[in-house]
Amino acid sequence: MHLEILTPEAKVFEGDADRVVFPGIMGGFEILKGHAPLISALSDGNIKVTSSGNVQIFKVKSGFVEVLNDTLTVCVEGIDNE
pLDDT category at 81 given cuts 50, 70, 90 is low
What's the pTM value of the predicted model, to 2 decimals? 0.92
* 14 CB-near residues (< 8 Å, 6+ apart): 2, 3, 4, 5
Tell me, yes or no, whether 69 lies in a domain.
Answer: yes
Tell me, yes or no, whether 82 lies in a domain.
Answer: no
Predicted pLDDT at 68: 97
Tell me, yes or no, whether 67 lies in a domain.
Answer: yes
Tell me, yes or no, whether 64 lies in a domain.
Answer: yes
Structural domains counted in the chain: 1
| pLDDT tens track for 9-65 | 999 999 999 999 999 999 999 999 999 999 999 999 999 999 999 999 999 989 999
At 42, which CATH number?
2.60.15.10
- Structural domain span for residue 28: 2-76
pLDDT category at 79 given cuts 50, 70, 90 is confident
Tell me, yes or no, whether 49 lies in a domain.
Answer: yes
Tell me, yes or no, whether 47 lies in a domain.
Answer: yes
What are the DSSP calls for 27-78, one per residue?
EEEEEETTPPPEEEEE-SEEEEEEETTEEEEEEE-SEEEEEETTEEEEEES-
